Amino acid sequence: MSSVNKKTMGLFARYLTVWVFLCIITGIGLGTLFPPVFHTLGGMEVAHINLPVALLIWAMIFPMLLKIDYSSLHEVWHHRRGIGVTLGINWLVKPFSMALLGWLFLGHLFAPLLDAGKIPEYIAGLILLAAAPCTAMVFVWSRLVGGHPQFTLSQVALNDVIMIFAFAPIVGLLLGVASITVPWDTLLLSVLLYIVIPVILAYITRNILLAKNRLDDVLHIMDPVSMAALLVTVVLLFGFQGEQILSQPLVILLLAVPITIQVYFNAMLAYWLNRKLGVAHCIAGPSALIGASNFFELAVAAAIALFGFESGAALATVVGVLVEVPVMLSVAAIVNRSKGWYERNNSNAIRKADSE
């Protein structure tokens, strides 16, 4: 990556909270001032899949997927403890703990303050948010905490493979428990469109570019596109929900409570488990962040496809975007500042990771 591109990525990462905040304000403002425009964009869909959102998500995640060396899956064994912790958090803890938090806070503690008819949709949105591990933003989080790059690549590749098979069944199970009818065809189509197809195309494209020794050049061109797509996606998503956000500030605040608790709980649990297992900090940092973050692009798309743009589920997933970025940045800061504590009595694991 060239020095200019590195500076661009550094500027983006350093002021990520600022950019996202500005895009949130812009999206809400535009959605409020020009609702017909966003209603038109919202109506551009095929098989309940919104085309503008789909194109932006592809533009955002495809460069990230191109960076993944799927042959690095054999590296899983070298990082088996960190991988095991992350997989356990992602697939055995996070979806179910989010369902529990949603039931506790939205279904009971906050129920008197919410529209009773919307509560099942809000809980469904939280489940969708937690059921898919983050893919695109993982590389940013890992870079912020000095994460081991090969571990991050291996973990993302493995999560993508698992997500193809596990996302729909877990969501279906939890939504079924929540007494919500699951349109399996739409849910499976979302998995196909946002995971299976881009992963396969990225794998093929990566091999072609490597054969032509053009991968770095293409990534240099596409990285800014990916960043721009992320910010435009935030503008579009908040534009779709701008009127609801301004008209329901209390609902936004209440939805943010279980999401915030969820992120901190899973991040700190993964971080602590890695330390207990003697995993090096450069593995534990990204493990904690991957374990806590969500593939909000897929969650928002699935919520829109399943329940509609103006549904409580769509609003809950968009609140996830609002909450996750600043909270994840704070988690990254905690991981960095606690490095001394983490590495105390953990020198053997650090030397082992450095020798891999």
66, 209 in Cβ contact below 8 A?
yes
Report yes or no: 66 and 202 within 8 Å, Cβ to Cβ. Answer: yes
Amino acid identity, position 170:
I
Closest Cα partner for 155 from 144, 147, 165?
A: 147
Comparison of pLDDT for 284 and 348, the residue scoring more: 284
Rounded distance between C-alpha atoms, residue 220 and residue 216, angstroms? 6
Q: How confident is the model at residue 2 (pLDDT cuts 50, 70, 90)?
A: very low
If one compares 140 and 292, the residue with the highest pLDDT of the two is 292
Residues 6+ apart with CB under 8 A from 226: 59, 60, 61, 62, 63, 64, 136
pTM: 0.74
Contact 94, 291 (CB under 8 A): yes
Torsion of CA 278, 283, 285, 286, to 10 degrees: -140
pLDDT tens per residue, range 301-315: 778 777 877 788 888
Q: pLDDT tens-digit profile of 181-198?
A: 555 666 667 677 777 788
Cα gap 167→160, rounded to integer Å: 10
More confident residue, 326 or 88: 88
Do residues 317 and 300 touch, judged by C-beta distance below 8 A? yes
Confidence class for position 320, pLDDT limits 50, 70, 90: confident
98-102, 151-155, 216-220, range with the lowest pLDDT: 151-155
Backbone Cα Rg of the chain: 20
CATH number of 69-214+248-355: 1.20.1530.20
Does 98 score more than 50 pLDDT?
Answer: yes
Say how far apart CA 100 and CA 123 lie, in whole Å: 9
Residue 254 is predicted with a pLDDT of 95
Please tell me the predicted confidence (pLDDT) of residue 136. Answer: 62
50 phi/psi in degrees, rounded to 5: -75, 125
For residues 242-253, give the mean pLDDT.
81
- pLDDT band at 204, cuts 50/70/90? very high
Tokens representing residue 81 in the block: 């403890």
Give the pLDDT band (50/70/90) at residue 273.
very high
Query: Whose CA is closest to 191, among 88, 299, 91?
Result: 299
pLDDT at 92: 92
Q: Please state the φ and ψ torsions of residue 46, each to the nearest 5 degrees.
A: -130, 125
For 241-262, give the secondary structure using H, E and C: CHHHHHHCHHHHHHHHHHHHHH
Are the beta carbons of 17 and 325 closer than 8 angstroms? yes
Can you give the pLDDT at residue 245? 74
- With bands split at pLDDT 50, 70 and 90, how would you rate the model's confidence at 230? confident
Residue type, 15: Y
What pLDDT, in 10s, does the model give residues 60-88? Answer: 778 777 877 777 666 667 778 999 999 99
